[in-house]
């Protein structure tokens, strides 16, 4: 079984091809960083147009990379939400058009599920597992029980963690995209230089909050502007921000591990996924936490943490082999929670 996956929900146009032997046969990503950089963030209309301009050619290139024609493809998967609706529509319409013309099954993939299942593509992780899903639009702790079966333990009550990196980078004048730039700058700074708040970490539960951290950083930047120029300010602030975010993520994940142990629902694997899971400091901290709780830590390679087509193709494959296919009138959805049929477990 071989699936082709299209990803267009944010600022990466991506096409991947995977097979049921967990091989990635193609994984083409066309970044739109150059288009959005002048605006300091993703402009939805520009993103949608850029996806439209690039997607067809990227499909062709992916097929060439895989050395395959459409006759070898068993199903077409496309991210159908959540995300910027213009881009999601471009990907989902393209996927449906290919499926209709080639008479192939179409799979409407939830972008969050694609991140959630990537560790099964890369490391063959068995269900259930605890997942820390950290991206530009989301920050959640969930139990991945099965394909399409999620139990949310906690979520952000304000900003997503990736947003905190991106806005932090903007405040520090580092530009876009923020996460990788903060990580590079943090390597040159002192993580203990500034003590920043860690919202909610003194409370039980697994919910996250980042808006207070962002405000504290803004105040720090304002204060710095009134003082003597300090060449180590930006690296120190970046390092302190990254350190604080890692502490928050570890604190909340520890609570999730504790909560599951109390319920006798002990997990053997902790998985991190989403763009922020590409961050080395965060990975190292989660690795230590996992060791403390005797669970295996898995994080896909950084290029499979950030948005890509292989993860969408894989989520499509997981669904296709269970017969979970969609009709060509499947909606493109700007919002699409993973646990929409399930009551939130704690908060």
| Cα gap 108→101, rounded to integer Å | 17
The yes or no reply on residue 113 touching Zn ion (CB under 5 A) is no
| Cα gap 164→175, rounded to integer Å | 13
Closest approach of Cβ 102 to ligand KG4, in Å? 28
Q: Is the dihedral of CA 40, 136, 90, 331 positive or negative?
A: negative
| Cα gap 12→111, rounded to integer Å | 13
Closest approach of Cβ 16 to Zn ion, in Å? 13
Stretch that binds ligand KG4, among 49-57, 133-141, 251-259, 322-330 (CB under 6 A): 133-141
Indicate the angle between helix axes 178-186 and 280-292, nearest 10 degrees.
Answer: 80
The yes or no reply on residue 316 touching ligand KG4 (CB under 6 A) is no
- Can you state the percent helix, strand and coil of the chain, rounding each to 5? 45, 20, 35
Residue 17's H or E segment, with its range, is: strand 12-19
From candidates 81, 275, 300, 309, binder to ligand KG4 by CB under 6 A: 275
Q: Which of 134, 135, 154 is nearest to 143 (CA)?
A: 154
The yes or no reply on residue 307 touching Zn ion (CB under 5 A) is yes
The single-letter DSSP state of residue 328 is T
The yes or no reply on residue 122 touching ligand KG4 (CB under 6 A) is no
Q: CA angle, 223 as apex, 219 and 224 as ends, to 5°? A: 115
Residue 15's H or E segment, with its range, is: strand 12-19
The yes or no reply on residue 118 touching Zn ion (CB under 5 A) is no
Stretch that binds ligand KG4, among 101-109, 173-181, 205-213, 248-256 (CB under 6 A): 173-181
The yes or no reply on residue 119 touching ligand KG4 (CB under 6 A) is no
The yes or no reply on residue 106 touching ligand KG4 (CB under 6 A) is no
Residues with Cβ within 8 Å of 11's Cβ and at least 6 positions away in sequence, in order, are 31, 32, 33, 36, 42, 47, 50, 177, 307
The yes or no reply on residue 80 touching Zn ion (CB under 5 A) is no
From candidates 75, 162, 235, 300, binder to ligand KG4 by CB under 6 A: 162
The yes or no reply on residue 163 touching Zn ion (CB under 5 A) is no
The single-letter DSSP state of residue 39 is G
From candidates 7, 113, 159, 166, binder to ligand KG4 by CB under 6 A: 166
| Cα gap 311→135, rounded to integer Å | 14
Q: Residue 259 or 285: which CB sits closer to ligand KG4?
A: 285
Q: Residue 5 or 162: which CB sits closer to ligand KG4?
A: 162
Q: Considering CB distances under 5 to 8 angstroms, the limit depending on partner class, which of Zn ion, ligand KG4, none binds residue 75?
A: none
The yes or no reply on residue 8 touching ligand KG4 (CB under 6 A) is no
From candidates 79, 92, 94, 135, binder to Zn ion by CB under 5 A: 135
**Binding region for Zn ion (CB under 5 A):** 135, 307
List of residues contacting ligand KG4 (CB under 6 A): 10, 135-137, 162, 165-166, 177-180, 183, 274-276, 278-279, 306-307
């Amino acid at each position: 079984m071989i699936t082709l996956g299209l990803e267009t929900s944010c600022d990466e146009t991506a096409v991947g091809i995977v097979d049921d032997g967990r091989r990635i046969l193609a994984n083409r990503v066309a970044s739109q960083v150059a288009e959005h950089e002048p605006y300091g963030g993703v402009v939805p209309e520009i993103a949608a147009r850029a996806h439209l301009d690039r997607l067809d050619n990227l499909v062709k290139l992916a097929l060439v990379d895989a050395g395959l024609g459409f006759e070898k493809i068993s199903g077409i998967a496309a991210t159908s939400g959540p995300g910027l609706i213009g881009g999601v529509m471009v990907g989902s319409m393209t996927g449906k058009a290919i499926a209709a013309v080639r008479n192939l099954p179409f799979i409407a993939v939830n972008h969050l599920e694609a991140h959630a299942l990537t560790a099964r593509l890369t490391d063959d992780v068995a269900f259930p597992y605890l997942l820390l899903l950290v991206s530009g639009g989301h920050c959640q702790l969930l139990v991945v029980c099965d394909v399409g079966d999620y139990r949310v333990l906690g979520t952000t009550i304000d900003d997503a963690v990736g947003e905190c990196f991106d806005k932090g980078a903007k405040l520090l004048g580092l530009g876009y995209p923020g996460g990788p730039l903060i990580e590079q700058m943090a390597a040159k700074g002192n993580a203990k230089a500034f003590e920043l708040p860690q919202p909610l970490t003194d409370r039980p539960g697994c919910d996250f909050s980042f808006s207070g951290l962002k405000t504290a950083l803004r105040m720090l930047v304002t204060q710095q502007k009134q003082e003597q120029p300090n060449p180590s300010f930006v690296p120190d602030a970046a390092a302190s921000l990254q350190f604080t975010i890692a502490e928050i993520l570890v604190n909340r994940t520890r609570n999730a591990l504790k909560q599951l142990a109390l319920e006798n629902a002990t997990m053997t694997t902790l998985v991190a996924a989403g763009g922020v899971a590409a961050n080395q400091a965060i990975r190292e901290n989660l690795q230590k936490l996992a060791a403390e709780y005797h669970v295996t830590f898995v994080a896909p390679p950084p290029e499979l943490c950030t948005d890509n087509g292989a993860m969408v193709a894989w989520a499509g494959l997981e669904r296709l082999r269970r017969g979970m296919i969609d009709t060509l009138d499947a909606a493109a959805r700007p919002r699409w929670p993973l646990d929409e049929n399930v009551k939130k477990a704690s908060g």
